[in-house]
Amino acid sequence: MTTSTRKVSLKVWLTQGRGRCGDLAAHLGVTPGRISQMANTDGVPARHMLAVRAFTKGAVSLESMLMDRKPDEPQAKRRKRPAPAPAAAA
């Protein structure tokens, strides 16, 4: 029996086994929802790339994570949450 050394995207890797999303989330200290965001829209943040590669035993390569990553938005284009209203003095 041979083990496949084919490199896949995080999205594909997550579909190849039950519980992978939760296991990876626990390993990285994030929620499973955040893992889903990484796989489907945002890409893997640079600070997690080495840990993802190690956890997946190299099945998800740094190259595939870099290719799937969206470029960082300039600071001016990011949506900002409105500041909370000041509390009224009693």
pLDDT tier at 11, thresholds 50, 70, 90: very high
* pLDDT confidence of residue 1: 37
Domain limits, the chain: 10-71
20 contacts: CB under 8 Å, gap ≥ 6: 13, 14
Contacts 24+ apart (CB under 8 A), 58-65: 58/5, 58/7, 59/6, 59/7, 59/8, 59/13, 60/7, 60/8, 60/9, 60/10, 60/13, 61/7, 63/7, 64/7, 64/8, 64/9, 64/10, 65/10
Averaged over 15-37, what is the pLDDT?
96
Question: pTM higher than 0.85 for the full model?
Answer: no
